Amino acid sequence: MSENLKPNGQGLSRIYRATICSAQGIQAAYQHEAAFRQELTLAVILLPVAWFTSATFGQFVLLIASLLFVLIIELVNSAVEAVVDRISLEHSELAGRAKDMGSAAVTLALLVCFLVWAQHFYRFFFA
C-alpha cells in the first residue's frame, strides 16, 4: 500500500487527524460505556486529592498514572466488546472468553490502582 493511500494523511496532518480520532474514541466511550463514565468521574475526583496529598511530583505522577492506566484498559476492553458484538450477538464460547479476559484486565488495572492509592494514603496518614 502506498503512503499516499493512507486515509489519515502524513506528517502533521496525520497527527492532527489521529488526535481527532482519539477524541472521538473517548467521546464514544463516555457516551456508551457506564463503566468508563464511572472510572472517569473517580479520576476527576481523585486528581485534586493526588495534587494536595503528594509530597513529591513523582508521587503525584504515579497516582495519576494509575488512574490513567484504568481508563486505558477500560477503553481497550470496550473496544474488544464492541468488535465482538459487531461480529455477532449470538453467544459464542470464544466471544465470551474475549469479553471475560477484557473484564479481567480491567479488574487487574483497578487492583493496581487501588494498591497504589492505598500505599499512598497509608504513608500520608500513618508514616
Is 119 annotated to bind a ligand? Reply is: no
The CA-based angle 87-92-93, given to 5 degrees, is 130
Selecting among 3, 74, 90, 93, the annotated active-site residue is: 74
Active site residue 90: no
Q: Let me know: does 4 contact 11? Beta carbons within 8 Å.
A: no
Q: What is the DSSP letter of 67?
A: H
Is 3 annotated to bind a ligand? Reply is: no
Q: Let me know: does 106 contact 34? Beta carbons within 8 Å.
A: no
Is 100 annotated to bind a ligand? Reply is: yes
Q: Let me know: does 40 contact 71? Beta carbons within 8 Å.
A: yes
Is 6 annotated to bind a ligand? Reply is: no
Is 38 annotated to bind a ligand? Reply is: yes
Is 39 annotated to bind a ligand? Reply is: yes
Positions annotated as catalytic residues are 74
Annotated binding site for ATP: 14, 33, 81, 99-100
Q: Per the annotation, where are the binding residues for substrate?
A: 14, 35-39, 74, 103
